[in-house]
Structure 1
Amino acid sequence: MFSGLSAFPLTPMNAKGPDEAAFVCLIERLAEAKVDSIGALGSTGSYAYLNRAERARVARLAVQHAGQVPVMVGIGATSTREVLRLAEDAQLAGASALLLAPVSYQPLTSEEVYELYSSVSHELSVPLCVYDNPRTTHFEFSDELHGRIARLPGVASIKIPGVPAEPEAARERVARLRKLIPSHVSIGISGDPWAATGLNAGCEIWYSVLGGLFPQAALALTRAAQRGDAALAEQLSRQLAPLWAMYNQHGSARVTAAAAELLGYVNAPCLPAPLQALNNTERTTLASLLTKLAL
């Protein structure tokens, strides 16, 4: 399950908590599109804003409605104790893999991050994906730390936050990391604007925000890269550049939430307070862009 397109959907919210009906609809759309995997409770899925019971319920719903598509569930939390509890819940829900970011309040050292992954990996019965997301966690992995963690039992993939824009530099960056990790551990690209460049540079999987709401567009780009059509993959990404610009300006979760609201997939507001999606002017811009891009 650690190749191709992993689609990361929203966890729509309402005043009572997760909007289960809307979430199920999003999951069923992804299953119907035949994405390669689903990433529930990632950053786009607002995992940090949900309590344990809500996260367990969302994990169960994702697995129950994903059909044959494997589901990876995020288990990030600020203490190892809570991560282990969330891991148990996700495995009981039937998750095929788990996604772990080094979430913290106090800044973490490299040794503390290694011990987190070591403690968790030895307790799992399903594969683990390392979530490298410095913009959110404020922790930056070194390639050497990735190499150490990748040798822990059950670690199956590393989700990196981006690659250099220049293709040759991107290939060199992926090659440097590949030399330090076992061959069975895949390298996945996140940060949608870098997806085409990352896949063309040798990343095996795209962990995609776009794919969580617009799976067909994300699949087209992924499949082009997988069959070696680097030019088409880059072309498809360039066509989406105005959307990437909105991601950079407002954050991908806010843009995705506003798009889902505009298209009627979820009720507004769908983000957990105090987060807010786009304002009226920004929504008008986004609505025009969605029409232009035929999304």
Structure 2
Amino acid sequence: MFTGLSAFPLTPMNEHRINEREFASLVEFLAEAGVDSIGVLGSTGSYAYLSRDERARVALLSVENASSVPVVVGIGALRTRDVLANAESAQQAGASGVLLAPVSYQRLTDDEVFNLYATVCQSLSVPLCVYDNPGTTHFEFSDELHGRIAQLPQVRSIKIPPLKNDIEFAKERVARLRKLIPADVTIGISGDPAAAVGLDAGCDAWYSVIGGLYPKAALALTRAAQTGDAQQAKALSNALEPLWALYREYGGSLRVAATIAEVTGRVSQPCLPQPLKTLQGDERKRLAAVIEGLGLD
């Protein structure tokens, strides 16, 4: 399950509710496209802004609309008790796996993070993906800590941050981590602009934001890399450079992805939890022009 393209859709919402119809449509679209898995309630899914009940509802809607495609549900929260409750809701909904980031307000120690994963794994009957995202959690995993956590019985994948755009550096990074983890634990790359390099360096999966909107384009890149055609994967990524440039300019992928979803009519406006906002004015027009120029479908 933790291989190939894992597509992460938005969770469209306003200040009153989740737009369940639009969310279900996004999930159905990904299932019909044939992605390898669907990742909900990750950073793109705005999990940190939702209540426990809202997250349980999203998990259920995901499984109901994903057909036979495995669904991986984010369960991260500030307190371990809430992580456990989210894990139980995901499992009851029929999720195929869970995704856990060490969310914190106070900076966590390595032992605290290890104990979080150890505690959660004791309650799981489905596999877990470790979500290494220092940009949001402000916690940096060492390779040694990844190695310790990867020994836990339910851990089956590690979602690592973007790798430097240097194939030799990326290969060394992946090889170093591989030496510390069991053979049945996969490594997945996140950060869409780094996907081609990460897959070429030996990552097993791409945990993708753009895949949640344009799965055909993301699948083409993923399949090229899986068949060993690194040149084609790089070319497909380079063709999306105008989009990657917007990611860099606007502080990541969430606002860009949400604006694309609004501009293309996939979701209503607004679709992000306040105080977050999509791009407006000239920035929005510029993004719309980029999307039109790329000709994605």
Is the pair's TM-score, using the shorter chain for normalization, greater than 0.5? yes
Between 138-147 and 280-289, the greater mean CA deviation after superposition: 280-289
Amino acid at match of 1:68: S
Amino acid at match of 2:279: L
Are the aligned partners of 2:7 and 2:208 in contact in 1 as well (CA < 8 Å)? Answer: yes
Are the aligned partners of 2:163 and 2:198 in contact in 1 as well (CA < 8 Å)? Answer: yes
Which residue is 1:256 aligned to?
Answer: 257
Which residue is 1:273 aligned to?
Answer: 274
Alignment of 1:149 onto 2:165? no
Q: In structure 1, how many angstroms separate the alpha carbons of the residues matched to 2:138 and 2:112?
A: 14
Between 234-243 and 4-13, the greater mean CA deviation after superposition: 234-243
Alignment of 1:178 onto 2:169? no
Q: In structure 1, how many angstroms separate the alpha carbons of the residues matched to 2:30 and 2:178?
A: 30
Are the aligned partners of 2:108 and 2:139 in contact in 1 as well (CA < 8 Å)? Answer: yes
Alignment of 1:294 onto 2:295? yes
**CA-CA distance at 1:248 after TM superposition:** 1.5
**CA-CA distance at 1:15 after TM superposition:** 3.4
Which residue is 1:228 aligned to?
Answer: 228
Alignment of 1:246 onto 2:239? no
Q: In structure 1, how many angstroms separate the alpha carbons of the residues matched to 2:108 and 2:15?
A: 34
**CA-CA distance at 1:229 after TM superposition:** 0.3
Amino acid at match of 1:244: W
Which residue is 1:285 aligned to?
Answer: 286
Amino acid at match of 1:149: I
Query: Which secondary structure does the structure 2 equivalent of 1:108 belong to?
Result: coil
Are the aligned partners of 2:164 and 2:170 in contact in 1 as well (CA < 8 Å)? Answer: yes
Which residue is 1:13 aligned to?
Answer: 13
Alignment of 1:50 onto 2:50? yes
Amino acid at match of 2:256: V
Amino acid at match of 1:260: A
Alpha-carbon displacement from aligned partner over 1:259-283 (angstroms, at most 9, x marks no partner): 0000000001100011001021111
**CA-CA distance at 1:245 after TM superposition:** 1.3
Query: Which secondary structure does the structure 1 equivalent of 2:179 belong to?
Result: helix
Amino acid at match of 1:242: P
Query: Which secondary structure does the structure 2 equivalent of 1:18 belong to?
Result: coil
Q: In structure 2, how many angstroms separate the alpha carbons of the residues matched to 1:267 and 1:83?
A: 30
Q: In structure 2, how many angstroms separate the alpha carbons of the residues matched to 1:118 and 1:272?
A: 31
Which residue is 1:40 aligned to?
Answer: 40
Q: In structure 2, how many angstroms separate the alpha carbons of the residues matched to 1:19 and 1:33?
A: 22
Amino acid at match of 1:147: G
Amino acid at match of 1:159: K
Alignment of 1:85 onto 2:85? yes
TM-score, normalisation: structure 1:
0.99
Amino acid at match of 1:281: D
Runs ≥4 residues deviating over 3 A: none
**CA-CA distance at 1:242 after TM superposition:** 1.3
Query: Which secondary structure does the structure 1 equivalent of 2:202 belong to?
Result: coil
**CA-CA distance at 1:14 after TM superposition:** 2.1
Which residue is 1:105 aligned to?
Answer: 105
Alignment of 1:159 onto 2:159? yes
Query: Which secondary structure does the structure 2 equivalent of 1:14 belong to?
Result: coil
Q: In structure 2, how many angstroms separate the alpha carbons of the residues matched to 1:15 and 1:193?
A: 31
Are the aligned partners of 2:9 and 2:212 in contact in 1 as well (CA < 8 Å)? Answer: yes
**CA-CA distance at 1:45 after TM superposition:** 0.1
Are the aligned partners of 2:15 and 2:274 in contact in 1 as well (CA < 8 Å)? Answer: no
Alpha-carbon displacement from aligned partner over 1:62-101 (angstroms, at most 9, x marks no partner): 0000001000000000011110010000100000000000
Identity level (%): 66
TM-score, normalisation: structure 2:
0.98
